[in-house]
Amino acid sequence: MKRFINSSVFALLIILLAACGTSASSEGGEVFEYGAQKNTDPKIMGQILKLLVEDQTDHEVNITEDMPASPQVMGGIDRGDFDFATLYSGEVYNNHFDEDQVEYSTDPEATLEQAQELFGERYDMKWYDSIGFINQYSIAVKEDFAADNNITTMTDLGEYANNMILGTDNSWIERDNDGYEGYQEAYGYSFEEARGMDVALMYEGIANDELDVVTAYTVDPQIIEYDLKILEDDQKFFPPYEASLVARNEVIDEYPEVADILDSLVGSISTEEMTQMMHEVDINKRDAAEVAKEFATEKGWIE
Amino acid sequence: MEFITDYVMFWQDEYQSIMTYTSEHLLISFVVIVLSILVTVPLAVYMTKMKNDKIKSLIFNIANIFQTIPTIALLAIMIPLLGIGFAPAVTALFLYALLPLLRNTYTGIKSIDPSIVEAAKGMGFTTMGRLFKIELPAALPYVMSGIRVTTVYIISWTTLAALIGAGGLGDLILAGIGYNDQYMIFTGTLLAIVIALLLDLAFGKLEKKYTNA
Amino acid sequence: MIELKGINKIYDDGFQALKDIDLTFEEGKINVLIGPSGCGKTTTMKLLNRLTDYTDGDILIDDQNMKQINPFELRRQMGYVIQNIGLFPHMSIFDNVATVPKLLKWNKHKIRERVDELLNMVNLDPETYRNRYPAELSGGQQQRIGVIRALAAEPSTILMDEPFSALDPISREQLQDELTKLQQEINKTIIFVTHDMDEAIKIADQIILMKDGEIVQKGAPQEILANPANEFVTEFIGEDRLENVLPSIQDMIQSDYPSISLNTTVEQSIQLLSRYQISDIPVVDENGAFNGIVNLFDLLNNKRTDLKTFIHDTLPTITENMDSHRLMQIFHEHKSTVYPIQTKEGNLAGVVERKQLVHLLHQFYMNKSGDSEWSS
């Protein structure tokens, strides 16, 4: 009986340790946990981070993919399930804080600062400066349509909007500040119809001319693939979604070698570069780890 | 307490759109249920009369294949054919509903006591008279319970309609996930459950009415 | 009357299910088809309502070739009772019983009367049962409904395919009794399939014993029991059952039993009876015709002189070739020391004595209780 209790306590300890997010790697280092949303850029960032950590230290990184969205990733960090993630500055306006805590702004710096401060404090984590790519909402139409009608800005689109069907993700229509309602106020026009759907299918829809205009995310490779044109946000309506790596303070305090790697990734990948990698993964159906490795080698980050 | 007042506020603010999502959900489910019953029940009846087992299993296999196609893939295939919104959503859900409904109805009719069929034959019913006066009414309780189970499935599957711009409660749930709004997620899920339970209850009542046990 | 003439049935795979069947189903009789499974008994029955077809031969129904009758019409004119009852679960008892009358488009009033009449016939109160559903009835009640459903449209012929075999033994016995009783009222031509020899013996007027698609023997139950045609029949009936068969009346008859003639005086009769040490004696006229019985104590206690006034004839007529089971019944219902047996012409053939019968029954039931064949 005693033995049974001992072994159950032992088993419980293992479970608790695993739940803390770190456990021993085969080389004697730690195994860190990275949580990725279901879009592709956080997955690629996870692979790059994993490559660098495993190349330069004894530690390992385990990636959990397809968390529904950023709030769920943050929940994972809060519980200690995840040690690292890639998050976007504009998320700070996303119902996380009361109106008196956060001040809505479309200025990139103000947005990043608030995200770093507010999230950093709430989840006891470090929100690094931007990796360099931006994945924010924008309005895109087919390139030939834009060329034919001489459309370059979102304001230009107003003339045609009431005959256009907009495809968007499931939440944009419901968003308060940066959603459809705000957009209509800012630009003074509405589309004939606005439909929320899966993002992959949204691109399929515009490619098949079932949709006329979409709320594209700026890094999405489908923009290139389907010859879409991102219109200039001349009213500065959309808040910036600059991508940053985040890490639990506990981890970077204890493992400075890991903190160094995270630091080194600040400002390292442009929107174009990320789009290119995503193109390989989403369109050419290549493995994210492979694409990440290629990129890191090209950059000279690994041998 | 704050939670409750907040939630009441949420309902006040979102009442209109919640009603829209709910009615979209009901409409899609309803069309799918009616359509799949219209196609499946006669097909299942026909299949019970069918002598050729190969064709029978072929039909089941086809229905089964639809089940195995991932939702996004199925919807993506449909965009060039049916576009975005109601039509592809209904079609996809219809294809998903096919197998459970077909299987339930088929086994339902098959499970009629063969002696009932023999008695009817021996009493001088014509083939059609037997089908409509005896076999179908006798199979009705089984068919009804098949429809009942499938309906509950369909209510839940209809949340997938949001993936292709057909709206419904899935839109509310996904919007809640993307926009970090727990109330939306909660409300969408709750309403889908309530609709499923209410329909299950209603079908249960109907079933009881037609089952003279 | 239904006649089968030279019926063969050969399946596509060459299997011959029926071989040259010649058979007449007597009108107003219970005809029992019996035999081991696969013998063709059910097939033979299903030929009659065309649920199965034959390869060659002819079936005549009241001298009309069956193939000239529309099968749906034919079936509506024949009652059909099946083993698993097959009541329609979604219909009330009323609608179940009314099925064929409705198909025949009887008017509503007539149907209603008929259903009530039938329910009463099997002792199910119409008020109580009319609106119930099959699932609310016991198995025995359900098969009663099955039987009256077959009777509903007053068919002249009723086909019964092992109708009682799925019932518990008590319900089975009851329904067998009810069927024989009912048959006395309705006088239908019944074709009854069973594999249960006890059942066949109990209800049949004619037993048709089949094996491998052929008729092995047919006849009244006692005939078959008394004279099995071959070893198969003996085996099928079961040795024990044969041993326990009551001897025929002919075997029991005492032809040397004394009798007196009509013109014997009372005085002479008393002397004769006391000499033989018997209490009852049959009386015959000068031609040997049976007139009745006189009793010794009657003669002693009365001062009348005319023997004729003492003759009583309260016993049912018993003839030589009557079934011994019938004799048992008379034995039970009418107390007498002797049971006179008559020839077909009404002459006295002899008597069966009560004490002899008691002895016989003692033997019979000793065997029966010691033997599982009989008690099953």
Residues C151-162 pLDDT 10s:
899 898 999 999
What is the predicted pLDDT for the residue at C313?
81
Q: Residue with structure tokens 């970077």?
A: A252
Q: pLDDT class for B211, splitting at 50, 70, 90?
A: low
Average pLDDT over residues A32-49: 95
Is residue C179 one of the residues assigned to a domain? yes
Is the model's pLDDT at A90 over the cut of 70?
Answer: yes
Cβ contacts of B177 on chain A, cutoff 8 Å: 68-69, 71-72, 170-171
Interchain proximity A197–B84, CB inside 8 Å: yes
Cβ contacts of C148 on chain B, cutoff 8 Å: none
Is residue A46 one of the residues assigned to a domain? yes
Q: What are phi and psi for residue C50, nearest 5 degrees?
A: 60, 30
B86 token code pair: 């109601």
Query: Considering CB atoms only, which of B124, B134, B140 is closest to C72?
Result: B124
Residue of C41 and C248 predicted with greater confidence:
C41
Interchain proximity A210–B181, CB inside 8 Å: no
Alpha-carbon span A33 to A59, nearest angstrom: 11
Nearest to C294 by CA among C284, B161, A2: C284
What is the predicted pLDDT for the residue at C243?
62
Residue of A295 and C168 predicted with greater confidence:
A295
Cβ contacts of B111 on chain C, cutoff 8 Å: none
The string of pLDDT tens digits covering residues C243-258 is: 666 677 777 788 888 8
Given CB atoms, is B77 within the 8 Å cutoff of chain A?
Answer: no
Q: Choosing among B13, B179, B183, which should be mutated to test the A contact, i.e. which has the most A CBs within 10 A?
A: B179
Is residue C326 one of the residues assigned to a domain? yes
Cβ within 8 Å of B, C 28-57 = 49, 51
Q: Choosing among B75, B164, B172, which should be mutated to test the A contact, i.e. which has the most A CBs within 10 A?
A: B164
Interchain proximity C89–B138, CB inside 8 Å: yes
Is residue C370 one of the residues assigned to a domain? no
Task: Indicate if A118 and A260 belong to the same structural domain.
Answer: yes
Domain, as residue range, for C310: 249-362
Is the model's pLDDT at A17 over the cut of 50?
Answer: no
Task: Indicate if C104 and C238 belong to the same structural domain.
Answer: yes
Q: Choosing among C81, C88, C131, which should be mutated to test the B contact, i.e. which has the most B CBs within 10 A?
A: C88
Whichever domain contains C341, its CATH number is 3.10.580.10
The string of pLDDT tens digits covering residues B12-52 is: 988 999 999 999 999 999 999 999 999 998 899 889 888 88
| Side chain identity at residue A5, one-letter code | I
Chains B and A touch (3+ CB pairs under 8 A): yes
Point out the domain boundary residue: A175, A206, A231.
Answer: A231
Whichever domain contains C149, its CATH number is 3.40.50.300
Task: Indicate if C13 and C95 belong to the same structural domain.
Answer: yes
Delineate the domains of chain B, giving CATH numbers in brackets.
Answer: 28-210 (1.10.3720.10)
Task: Indicate if C168 and C20 belong to the same structural domain.
Answer: yes
Beta bridge partners of C189: C157
Is the model's pLDDT at C376 over the cut of 60?
Answer: no
Alpha-carbon span A146 to A153, nearest angstrom: 9
Whichever domain contains A219, its CATH number is 3.40.190.120
Interchain proximity B84–A71, CB inside 8 Å: no
What is the predicted pLDDT for the residue at C263?
83
Neighbours of chain C (3+ CB pairs under 8 A): B
Chains C and B touch (3+ CB pairs under 8 A): yes
Gap from A154 CA to chain B (nearest CA, Å) = 23
CB atoms within 10 A of CB B48: 18
Is the model's pLDDT at A147 over the cut of 80?
Answer: yes
Query: How many domains in chain A?
Result: 2
Whichever domain contains A287, its CATH number is 3.40.190.10
What is the predicted pLDDT for the residue at C363?
67
Contact call for residues C180 and C150 (beta carbons, < 8 A): no
Task: Indicate if C281 and C347 belong to the same structural domain.
Answer: yes
Is residue C373 one of the residues assigned to a domain? no
Alpha helices in chain A (DSSP H): 2-19, 40-56, 70-79, 108-123, 143-149, 154-161, 180-187, 199-207, 222-225, 249-254, 256-264, 271-278, 288-299
Q: Choosing among A66, A72, A198, A206, which should be mutated to test the B contact, i.e. which has the most B CBs within 10 A?
A: A198
Is residue A26 one of the residues assigned to a domain? no
Decide: helix, strand or coil at residue C15.
coil
Alpha-carbon span A243 to A270, nearest angstrom: 10
What is the predicted pLDDT for the residue at A25?
65
Interchain proximity C90–B125, CB inside 8 Å: no
Is the model's pLDDT at A66 over the cut of 80?
Answer: yes
Is the model's pLDDT at C284 over the cut of 50?
Answer: yes
Is residue C371 one of the residues assigned to a domain? no
Q: Choosing among B180, B181, B184, B187, which should be mutated to test the A contact, i.e. which has the most A CBs within 10 A?
A: B180
Cβ contacts of C76 on chain B, cutoff 8 Å: 123-124
Interchain proximity A171–B174, CB inside 8 Å: yes
Is the model's pLDDT at B212 over the cut of 60?
Answer: no
The string of pLDDT tens digits covering residues C171-227 is: 888 889 888 888 888 889 999 999 988 899 889 999 999 999 999 999 998 888 888
Instruction: List C-alpha distances in Å: C145 to A45, B135, B156.
Output: 78, 20, 46
What is the predicted pLDDT for the residue at C244?
60
Gap from B96 CA to chain A (nearest CA, Å) = 19
* Number of DSSP helices (H) and strands (E) in chain A, helices first: 13, 11
Point out the domain boundary residue: A231, A262, A282.
Answer: A231
Is the model's pLDDT at C31 over the cut of 60?
Answer: yes
Neighbours of chain A (3+ CB pairs under 8 A): B
Domain, as residue range, for A174: 137-231
Point out the domain boundary residue: C211, C243, C275.
Answer: C243
Measure the N-to-C terminal CA separation of chain A; round to a whole number of Å: 54
Decide: helix, strand or coil at residue B91.
helix
Contact call for residues C157 and C48 (beta carbons, < 8 A): yes
For chain B, what is the mean pLDDT? 90
Q: Which residues contact C156 (CB under 8 A, 6 or more apart)?
A: C27, C77, C188, C189
Is residue A291 one of the residues assigned to a domain? yes
Interchain proximity B181–A174, CB inside 8 Å: yes
Count of residues making up chain C: 376
Given CB atoms, is B181 within the 8 Å cutoff of chain A?
Answer: yes
Task: Indicate if C263 and C205 belong to the same structural domain.
Answer: no
Point out the domain boundary residue: C220, C243, C266.
Answer: C243
Task: Indicate if C106 and C185 belong to the same structural domain.
Answer: yes
Interchain proximity B124–C86, CB inside 8 Å: no
Contact call for residues A267 and A132 (beta carbons, < 8 A): yes
Q: pLDDT class for B180, splitting at 50, 70, 90?
A: confident
Task: Indicate if A181 and A213 belong to the same structural domain.
Answer: yes
What is the predicted pLDDT for the residue at A16?
46
Interchain proximity C89–B118, CB inside 8 Å: no
Point out the domain boundary residue: C190, C216, C243.
Answer: C243
What percent of chain A is modeled with pLDDT above 70?
A: 91
What percent of chain A is modeled with pLDDT above 90?
A: 84
Q: Choosing among A94, A174, A180, A212, which should be mutated to test the B contact, i.e. which has the most B CBs within 10 A?
A: A174
C204 token code pair: 């049949």
Cβ contacts of B171 on chain A, cutoff 8 Å: 170, 196
Cβ contacts of B123 on chain C, cutoff 8 Å: 75-76, 80, 99-100, 103, 149
Query: How many domains in chain C?
Result: 2
Task: Indicate if A105 and A252 belong to the same structural domain.
Answer: yes
Is residue A41 one of the residues assigned to a domain? yes
Task: Indicate if C138 and C257 belong to the same structural domain.
Answer: no
Interchain proximity A171–B167, CB inside 8 Å: no
Interchain proximity B75–A201, CB inside 8 Å: yes
Lowest mean pLDDT among A260-264, B2-6, B116-120, B155-159: B2-6
Given CB atoms, is B139 within the 8 Å cutoff of chain A?
Answer: no
For chain A, what is the mean pLDDT? 90
Which chain C residue shows the shortest CA-CA distance from B116?
C86
Decide: helix, strand or coil at residue C335.
coil
Beta bridge partners of C31: C191, C206
Interchain proximity A201–B175, CB inside 8 Å: no
Is residue C10 one of the residues assigned to a domain? yes
Which chain B residue shows the shortest CA-CA distance from C81?
B119
Interchain proximity A196–B171, CB inside 8 Å: yes
Q: Count of A–B CB contacts within 8 Å?
A: 85
Cβ contacts of B76 on chain A, cutoff 8 Å: 200-201, 204
Confidence (pTM): 0.71
Interchain proximity A71–B177, CB inside 8 Å: yes
Is residue C374 one of the residues assigned to a domain? no
Q: pLDDT class for C364, splitting at 50, 70, 90?
A: low
Task: Indicate if C227 and C310 belong to the same structural domain.
Answer: no
Interchain proximity B124–C85, CB inside 8 Å: no
